[in-house]
Amino acid sequence: MNDEWKADLQTLFNPRSVALIGASESSSRSRAIISNMREFGYRGEIFPVHPKRDEAFGLRCYPRVTDIPEVVDAFIIAVPRDQVIVALEGCAEKSIPAGVIISAGFAEASPEGKVLQDRLTQIAETAKIRICGPNCYGIANIHERVALLLGTDVRHVQPGKIGLVFQSGGLLNLTLLAAWDRGWGVSHAISCGNEAVIHVAHYAEYLVRDSRTQVVGILTEGIKDPEKFLAVARSAAELEKPLIVLKIGKSEKGVKAAQAHTGTLVGSDTVYDAVFKQHGVVRVHDLDDFIETVELFAKRKRPRGGRLGFIAPSGAECGLIADIATDIGIDLPELPAKTVDRLKKVQSPFLSIRNPLNAPEQYTRKEKIFNACIAALLDADNLDIVGLRLPLPRMREDRDVVNRFVDLVQAGKKTEKLLIVFSRASVSLPEYWRQLLREHEIPFLLEYRKGFKALKSLLSYYRFIDRDRASCDAGVRVDVNLGKVKGLLQSFGRTLTERQSKQILAEYGIPIARETLATSAEEAVEIARRIGYPVVLKIESPEIAHKTEARAVEIGISNDAEVRADYGRIMENARAHNSAAQINGVLVQEMVRGAREVIIGMTQDSQWGPMIILGLGGILVEVLKDIATRVAPLTRFDVEEMMHELKGAKILEGFRGQPPADIAAVIDIVLRFSQLCLDLKADIAEIDINPLMICENGKGAKVVDCLMTRLLPESRHNIGP
């Protein structure tokens, strides 16, 4: 289906005329919408529609939307659910290109509501009507004074550069209240509800293209159009317009609540995390973090690094700041000697000079001392960011604090470094503070932990933006005879044996441990001699996937006698484990020694396609769960980031006298594996390489064990893009 028409949302966000269907002074919704439009200063025409009224809100009222003689650009439907379809059919007949459906009770409510929503979507798709909703609060274009919106908090918001797209109207209202409190300027406020026609990705695309929007904040329960969203994320990264996303539905109860709210398919939270990291999308996990992160990104400078210098007028507070910064991963380097010498001239002799800096008591009352401290940290060669705590805003205007804030503004204009003001607690701001924040582009963050999390997100975002462009390419492109590979797969059963799985890996140039299948003890001895001792023996059976549990694997076998004995023992244990299993024989494999183990795996996600994991391997992987996740295709940067995320990364880098592992070999193998997963996404459901044995640097890596499961034909339509 060609959905290009959905990208043109101009008439939705800037209509010259609007029909309000269900207009009535007795309706609180109608009153709120009309009041918003009038107080906002909407410059277009408003046409009330109601079958039993001649006038509403001092305007002529029409029985049906088709009775309006003028051209109508947009509509708002605010009638009971069972009247919506008839109202929408009238809008289609009138050829109105866009509109908002406030009414609820659709897919979020019941199967009957889902049927009605499907009919609504069908009408809109046929007539190419761009619909926001149903079950929503509507939209506002702050710059153009358009408010097709229920919430009243939008009236207080100033025009600016933050675009907001929320599935929840209630949480959008709370965020608009925060925007007013923090002095944000907002370009658009969108409550999209059930997304029956226009999805979150369409709104995000519109905002990314909008020249007046520089930061896009999104609250969503799930992404309905993954391919579109990824395209928007790529465009946003190229334009350096951050997408800040609060994705709800992490817990089981959260998933159920989200599905009940808008009927959205929430999807795997782990996969969303991976997709967002991979495409430079900034993820936050609650509304407080969302607000602080948007505040910082909207007033950001590009930091040249992540080294923070901090000033606070309390020794204990400096200790608290250091603890929180360390916990979150913010670097607080020691101050250089020349900076310490400068600070000695203004610092109390009873206070130490370190980072965080315990500033003299009431330093905000002492202009010269305050500015000297700020200047010393801004001039420090090993600091990229300077943060400080100002006293909590009082209701009565504090001229000293205001003057110090203005001093910071002036200092900020003379440096490329990022200056951030912190408060040690969340407070409602007095009007004089709001005015300061509206007038000046210095971030003001409430609470250290929330503020440092926002700063960590900013640093991670620019790490993504500034990544080596060469590392963004796949780096490995394997020439594969895909017809041969698919033919092999079709000749295998649903669950491939280890040896069959490795045949597929080998076609992609992924190195495999030397091995041969034996069907007798004597044949196993001959193979072991040929490979060279020590060797590993393991059962081959499509019905015995976990050989360790079946006691059907032996390692470190060093001579002929052990091969003969272990061959018989493995066959006996396998039959005891599953007497009905098809047993092909015993695999004789070289023993890879002195290596570190990792796991590489793939599962199919219904929305996003092949999901690749990388982690520390072996039998403890299910206990340690030290894994990183991304979605195919992977770039070199993706694999490097995955390895960096592992808690056990030091084991690979070299630990307690061990030489570093061959990281380059791992990256090469994972990139080849990524191509395999993408090439065969319609054929393979799961892959488990565990372990991949990594030798020391320069000596490569080899797959020791692998399991693949084919995808059943009836499941193929459930795979993502």
Task: Assess whether pLDDT exceeds 80 at residue 714.
Answer: no
pLDDT in tens, 347-365: 888 788 999 999 876 777 8
pLDDT given at position 594: 78
- In CATH, what number is assigned to the domain containing residue 217? 3.40.50.720
What is the span of the domain harbouring residue 550? 514-590
Residue 299: pLDDT band (50, 70, 90) is very high
- Residue 679 CA to residue 684 CA, distance in Å, equals 10
Assign residue 609 a region (left: φ > 0; alpha: ψ between -120 and 50; beta: otherwise). left
And the tokens for 692? 């991949």
Residue 4 vs residue 153, higher pLDDT = 4
Question: Can you tell me the distance from the alpha carbon of 217 to that of 570, in angstroms, rounded to the nearest whole number?
Answer: 58
> What average pLDDT does range 443-448 have in this prediction?
94
Whether the Cβ atoms of residue 213 and residue 187 lie closer than 8 Å to each other: yes
Whether 261 shows a pLDDT value over 60: the answer reads no
- For the record, the structure tokens of 211 come out as 């020249």
What pLDDT is attached to residue 720? 64
Give the 3-state secondary structure of 478-517: CCCCHHHHHHHHHHCCCECCHHHHHHHHHHCCCCECCEEE
Beta bridge partners of 686: 603, 709
Any domain includes 493: no
Q: How confident is the model at residue 654 (pLDDT cuts 50, 70, 90)?
A: confident
Half-sphere exposure of 378 (CA within 13 A, CB side): 20
Domain shared by 614 and 573, yes or no = no
pLDDT in tens, 578-601: 999 999 999 999 999 878 899 999
Output the pLDDT for position 267: 47
pLDDT-based confidence at residue 264 (cuts at 50, 70, 90) = very low
Query: Of 556, 590, 624, which one is at a domain's C-terminal end?
Result: 590
Tokens of 699: 């000596």
Q: What is the pTM of this model?
A: 0.90
For residue range 23-52, list pLDDT tens digits in order: 999 999 999 999 999 999 999 999 999 999
Report residue 691: phi and psi, to 5°: -105, 160
User: Do 318 and 222 fall into the same domain?
Assistant: no
**What pLDDT sits at residue 467?**
84
Same structural domain, 293 and 305? no
Radius of gyration of the chain (CA): 31
Confidence grade of residue 474 (pLDDT, cut at 50, 70, 90): low
**pLDDT given at position 76:** 98
Q: Is the pLDDT of residue 255 over 50?
A: no
Edge-to-edge strand list for the sheet holding 45-49: 45-49, 17-21, 74-77, 98-101, 130-132
Listed residues 590, 621, 653: the one ending a domain: 590
Confidence of residue 718 (pLDDT cuts 50, 70, 90): low
Question: Tokens 């391919």 appear where?
Answer: 227
Q: What distance, in Å, lies between the first and last C-alpha atoms of the chain? A: 15
Helix axes 287-298, 169-182, angle to 10 degrees: 50
Q: How confident is the model at residue 330 (pLDDT cuts 50, 70, 90)?
A: very high
pLDDT at 435 over 60: yes
Among 517, 535, 502, CA closest to 669: 502
Query: What share of the chain has pLDDT > 70, as a percent?
Result: 94
User: Does 489 fall in a domain?
Assistant: no
Assess whether 406 and 520 both reside in one domain.
no
Cα distance between residue 81 and residue 102, in whole Å? 9
User: Percent of the chain having pLDDT more than 90?
Assistant: 77
Whether 600 and 579 share a structural domain: no
Q: Is the pLDDT of residue 672 over 90?
A: yes
CATH code of the domain containing 648: 3.30.470.20
pLDDT for 249 equals 78
- pLDDT value at residue 258: 46
Q: What is the pLDDT of residue 48?
A: 98
567 vs 618: CA distance, rounded Å = 23
Q: How far apart are CA 493 and CA 710, in angstroms?
A: 8
In a domain, 106, yes or no: yes
Average pLDDT over residues 286-315: 95
Reported confidence tier of residue 621, pLDDT bands at 50, 70, 90: low
Q: In the prediction, which pLDDT does 396 show? A: 74
Domain edge (last residue) among 566, 590, 614:
590
Rounded to 5 degrees, φ, ψ at 551 are: 50, 45
What pLDDT score does 228 carry? 95
- The reply to whether 161 and 288 lie within a common domain is yes
- pLDDT, position 18: 98
pLDDT at 1: 61
Residues 636 and 652 in one domain: yes
Total domain count, the chain = 4
Candidates 121, 148, 153; CA nearest to 136 is: 148
CATH assignment of the domain containing 305: 3.40.50.261
Has residue 473 been placed in a domain?
no
The answer to whether residue 700 is domain-embedded is yes
Mean per-residue pLDDT, 112-125: 97
Let me know whether 337 and 285 are in one domain.
Answer: no
Same domain, 11 and 52: yes
Tens digits of residue pLDDT in 134-153: 999 999 999 999 999 998 78
Q: Is residue 160 part of a domain?
A: yes
Residue 199, in any domain of the structure: yes
H or E stretch including 668?
helix 663-679
Side-chain-side CA neighbours of residue 128 (13 Å): 12
Question: Which two structure tokens, joined as six digits, stand for 439?
Answer: 């007038």
Q: DSSP states of 302-347 as a string?
A: --SS-BEEEEES-HHHHHHHHHHHHHHT-B-PPPPHHHHHHHHTTS
pLDDT interval class at 653 (50, 70, 90): confident
Q: Are residues 260 and 189 in the same domain?
A: yes
Closest Cα to residue 136, out of 121, 149, 122? Answer: 149
Residue 494 to residues 172, 686, 712: CA-CA distances in angstroms? 48, 11, 8
Supply the pLDDT for residue 263.
Answer: 40
The verdict on residue 342 lying in a domain is yes
State whether 624 and 690 are in the same domain.
yes
Q: Of the candidates 234, 219, 223, which has an alpha carbon nearest to the alpha carbon of residue 272? A: 223
pLDDT one-digit tens code per residue, 229-241 = 999 999 999 999 9
CB 266 within 8 A of CB 221: yes
Q: Tell me, what DSSP letter sits at residue 466?
A: T
**Residues 143, 209 within the same domain:** yes
For residue 151, the model assigns a pLDDT of: 83
Mean pLDDT of the chain: 91
